Amino acid sequence: MIEVIGVGANSMDHVLRIPGDVVSLVASGKRRISGQEWRCGGQTATAMSACAALGLRAGYVGAVGSDEHGRQMRAELTRCGVDVSGRRTVLWHRDERLALTPEQIPADVLAQSRLVHVDDVDRPAALYACVVARSAGVPVTSDIEQASDGVEALIGAVTHPIFDHNAPAVLTGESDPERALRKLRRFNPGLLCMTLGEGGAAALEGDRFHAAPAVPVKAVDTTGAGDVFRAGMIYGLLQGWEVPALLRFANAAAAVSCTRPGAIASVPTLNEVNDLLTNTSH
């Protein structure tokens, strides 16, 4: 049985290496790149790769192109141990036709999983996945980054909303994480969580607010750290951990991913996360 199924986005990240800093780049208006490469990523694809690396049986439902980048994405997900078998959309470019639709989602597979994870890229598909999962009693986590029209419906449809660090402030007008999460409570009575970048993460459990500092590491690349954080939350939820332990583990998972470049390429193993926690003072 697949334990965790992710429904959402994958991407090929075109990484350009630029010597110097951003300030000098803006001032000059021109800068020769020192290197470039393509790396596999995407919100849900990265989260599922991280779930697999943590030891969960993970599957992915999404649209993958038939070009070289699409083949590379499928190969990378397979290498990471993510199940990509079954129905899929195969097209050349990310346009209207490549959007994931509810009809393409295998409802029976979602209903048999232990947890479903969605993002906010193709919202109709995400909402459908939420309905299918919740009707079967399956919990649903989310990756909510955009404060666009209709996001409130997605917040209410999942059981465990997990917000990007900027989204709560945009949605509520509150820059303070606790006040923002308390305002978002009107959409969802469950556990509300948000990432805080270098500040770690925060969560609202009922009326109790939790804050967990980031686990210090020497960061190389933060790409995909939020997606890996969500994988850490998913792992902890399936273990039945209390909220403080959830946040600490997810922060450590994200921290390990920051020590190497790339999104999917940076996902940590369970041993790596536990080693960092063991070697980090409380």
What φ, ψ does residue 153 adopt, rounded to 5°?
A: -65, -40
Region 4-16+36-278: CATH code:
3.40.1190.20
* Structural contact between residues 14 and 68, judged by C-beta atoms closer than 8 angstroms: no
**Pairing state of beta strands 35-41 and 11-17?**
antiparallel
Q: Check whether 94 has a pLDDT greater than 70.
A: no
* Structural contact between residues 231 and 263, judged by C-beta atoms closer than 8 angstroms: no
Question: Rounded to whole angstroms, how far apart are CA atoms 122 and 275?
Answer: 36
Cα angle at 131 between 125 and 134, to 5 degrees? Answer: 135
Question: Rounded to whole angstroms, how far apart are CA atoms 116 and 135?
Answer: 12
Give the residue among 81, 87, 2 at the shortest CA–CA distance from 45.
Answer: 81
Residue pLDDT, tens place only, 164-218: 999 999 999 999 999 999 999 999 999 999 999 999 999 999 999 999 999 999 9
Residue pLDDT, tens place only, 29-85: 666 777 777 787 888 999 999 999 999 999 999 888 777 877 888 888 888 888 887
Question: Rounded to whole angstroms, how far apart are CA atoms 252 and 137?
Answer: 29
Confidence of residue 97 (pLDDT cuts 50, 70, 90): low
Dihedral angle of Cα 249, 254, 257, 262, to the nearest 10 degrees:
150
Residue 106, token pair as written in the block: 């295998």
Q: Which residues pair with 60 in a beta bridge?
A: 6
Q: Check whether 98 has a pLDDT greater than 80.
A: no
Residue pLDDT, tens place only, 237-258: 999 999 999 999 999 999 999 9
Q: Is 36 helix (H, G, I), strand (E, B) or coil?
A: strand
DSSP 46-97: HHHHHHHHTT--EEEE-B--SSHHHHHHHHHHHHTT-B--S--B--SSSSGG
Residue pLDDT, tens place only, 130-163: 999 999 999 999 999 877 778 999 999 999 999 9
Q: Is 129 helix (H, G, I), strand (E, B) or coil?
A: helix
* Structural contact between residues 45 and 6, judged by C-beta atoms closer than 8 angstroms: yes
